[in-house]
């Protein structure tokens, strides 16, 4: 097939079904939609069916498809210096590291002049994506503390490399347990709607989840624990927003025992909930922050670890035993730099906070009031979950945990009904997530939410069955 034929995008198969080995799939059981193009919050397939991207692909496309400024930044950098090894210094890599560190947790409170204004507090180690960023954050924490154990939450996702999948607290870990990282332990984070602690409200859930974590630390031996890793807001496993005080409590627990706090901001960083880093909502400063996805909307693969200076200093005289050929790739960094400029020029963080609070949240609550299949809606900014149930009283999920095949059919029917209306949702177990690009217009948000509203009649049919 010639480049021209590829550009025209005429064939449905074009090798995908025969030659591409896809993620997380039984290869014979899938039929991926052939996507031909996209613009802003929309993409379309080869038959010109258009979809409003309510999943931002995999919750990475924060500035939407084909943003002209991001595309131009890649083109300009490709013309200037398309690649360079990680052992060299490079201007766009340095500039992105500066921009990220200036927006790191707690930096907004830094004095603009006087004592401390110019102190360096953070550095950035760039990776190719989220999993290897998690992997390297854990490596930094272990080498810095000289301890091995890392605690991570059930109901979490941290990536698919060996340590990252071992840290993951969802069923994607199970088949990978044939060769896990042996020093990972799991704990239960707060989830008020399905409290494992018998809590009656968010505040009680936060307190009890913290007491549980404290106990896990005691039982594992505080002197053995290198790090506590958590998603600031749990993403794929439920858009679980930590109760006020929980993250501050984890920070205090870490401080008590010399444990590093590592927050995974791969899904929620860079504007998803109207903050550069979601942890800023609670005023907590971690030791290490993992990012990827939204940093450059995934136009070129990029992730990284924002490293507190006290950890980075461990490696002033000692070799950091890690590296990647494409660490800080100039194409990825150039689009990261431009992305941050677009965020500022177009006031994206403010937009996300405003439309989340004034449009998405209220509209979803109306939907919840109308449909007996909606157990709870929760979220912030442009990141929401609709939890579907068979019974609002018992909270029995519409489909069982980890359901597949016929057991998952009710969710599949809801998803099909949404797609029929030209909206592409994010779905996980019994939940629909609303995670559109942060540039989605108010009219398109209304359109997508109306499609979900209409499609939920399909879920209502299962209530009480
Ligand atoms: N951490 C979180 C919270 C994620 O949501 C993901 C991916 O979805 C990852 C880590 C892994 O990122 P990647 O797929 O870029 O390796």
ipTM above 0.90, yes or no: yes
22, 23, 158: residue to mutate for ligand 1 pocket, most atoms within 8 A of CB: 158
Beta carbon of 131 within 6 Å of any ligand 1 atom = yes
Q: Which of 106, 95, 149, 409 is nearest to 258 (CA)?
A: 149
Mean pLDDT of 68-74: 99
Domain-by-domain residue ranges, the chain?
Answer: 3-66+347-460, 74-345
Rounded distance from Cα 117 to ligand 1 centre (Å): 33
**What is the pLDDT confidence band of residue 7, given thresholds at 50, 70 and 90?**
low
Q: Which of 315, 291, 304 is nearest to 144 (CA)?
A: 315
Question: Model confidence over 315-338: pLDDT tens digits?
Answer: 999 999 999 999 999 999 999 999
pTM of the model as a whole? 0.96
- CATH 3.90.1150.10 is the classification of domain 3-66+347-460: yes
Query: Among the atoms of ligand 1, which is closest to the Cα of residue 265?
Result: 3
CATH code of domain 74-345: 3.40.640.10
Question: Model confidence over 14-53: pLDDT tens digits?
Answer: 788 889 999 999 999 999 999 999 999 999 999 999 999 9
C-alpha to C-alpha distance for 260 and 255, rounded to whole angstroms:
8
Beta carbon of 129 within 6 Å of any ligand 1 atom = yes
Query: Among the atoms of ligand 1, which is closest to the Cα of residue 128?
Result: 15
94-102's contacts with Cβ under 8 Å and 24+ in sequence apart are 95/333, 95/337, 96/124, 96/126, 96/328, 96/333, 96/336, 96/337, 96/340, 97/123, 97/124, 97/126, 97/328, 99/336, 99/337, 99/340, 100/124, 100/291, 100/295, 100/304, 100/306, 100/336, 100/340, 101/306
Beta carbon of 231 within 6 Å of any ligand 1 atom = yes
Domains 3-66+347-460 and 74-345 share a fold: no
156, 157, 278: residue to mutate for ligand 1 pocket, most atoms within 8 A of CB: 157
Residue 255 confidence (pLDDT) above 90: yes
Quick check: 24 and 8 in contact, CB under 8 A? Answer: no
Beta carbon of 130 within 6 Å of any ligand 1 atom = yes
Beta carbon of 184 within 6 Å of any ligand 1 atom = no
């Amino acid at each position: 097939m010639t480049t021209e034929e590829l550009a025209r995008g005429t064939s449905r198969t074009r090798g995908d079904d025969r030659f591409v080995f896809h993620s997380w799939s039984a290869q014979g059981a899938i039929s991926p939609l052939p996507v031909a193009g996209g613009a802003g919050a929309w993409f379309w397939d080869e038959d010109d069916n258009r979809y409003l991207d309510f999943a931002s692909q995999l919750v990475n496309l924060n500035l939407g498809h084909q943003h002209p400024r991001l595309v131009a930044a890649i083109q300009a950098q490709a013309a200037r210096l398309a690649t360079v090894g990680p052992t060299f210094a490079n201007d766009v890599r340095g500039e992105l590291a500066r921009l990220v560190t200036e927006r790191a947790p707690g930096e907004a409170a830094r004095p603009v002049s006087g004592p401390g204004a110019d102190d360096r507090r953070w550095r950035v180690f760039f990776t190719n994506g989220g999993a290897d960023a998690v992997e390297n954050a854990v490596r930094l924490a272990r080498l810095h503390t000289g301890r091995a154990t890392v605690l991570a939450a059930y109901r979490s996702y941290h990536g698919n490399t060996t340590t990252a999948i071992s840290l993951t607290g969802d069923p994607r870990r199970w088949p990978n347990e044939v060769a896990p990282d042996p020093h990972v332990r799991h704990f239960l984070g707060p989830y008020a709607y399905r409290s494992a602690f018998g809590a009656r409200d968010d505040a009680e859930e936060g307190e009890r989840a913290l007491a549980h974590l404290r106990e896990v630390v005691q039982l594992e031996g505080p002197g053995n624990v290198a790090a506590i890793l958590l998603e600031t807001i749990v993403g794929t496993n439920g858009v679980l927003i930590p109760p006020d005080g929980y993250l501050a409590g984890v920070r205090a627990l870490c401080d008590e025992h010399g444990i590093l706090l590592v927050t995974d901001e791969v899904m929620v960083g860079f504007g998803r909930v109207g903050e550069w880093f979601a942890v800023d909502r609670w005023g907590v400063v971690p030791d290490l922050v993992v990012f990827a996805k939204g940093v450059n909307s995934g136009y070129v693969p990029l992730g990284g670890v924002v490293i507190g200076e006290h950890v980075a200093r461990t490696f002033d005289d000692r070799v950091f035993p890690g590296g990647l050929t494409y660490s800080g790739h100039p194409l990825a960094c150039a689009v990261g730099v431009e992305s941050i400029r677009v965020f500022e020029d177009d006031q994206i963080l403010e937009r996300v906070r405003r439309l989340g609070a004034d449009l998405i949240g209220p509209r979803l609550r109306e939907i919840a009031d109308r449909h007996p299949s909606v157990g709870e809606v929760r979220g912030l900014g442009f990141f929401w979950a609709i939890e579907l149930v068979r019974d609002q009283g018992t909270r029995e999920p519409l489909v069982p945990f980890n359901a597949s095949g016929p057991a998952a059919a009710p969710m599949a029917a809801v998803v099909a009904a949404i797609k029929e209306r030209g909206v592409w949702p994010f779905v996980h177990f019994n939940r629909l997530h609303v995670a559109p690009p942060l540039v989605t217009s108010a009219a398109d948000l209304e359109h997508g939410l109306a499609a979900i509203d209409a499609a939920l009649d399909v879920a209502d049919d299962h209530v009480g069955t």
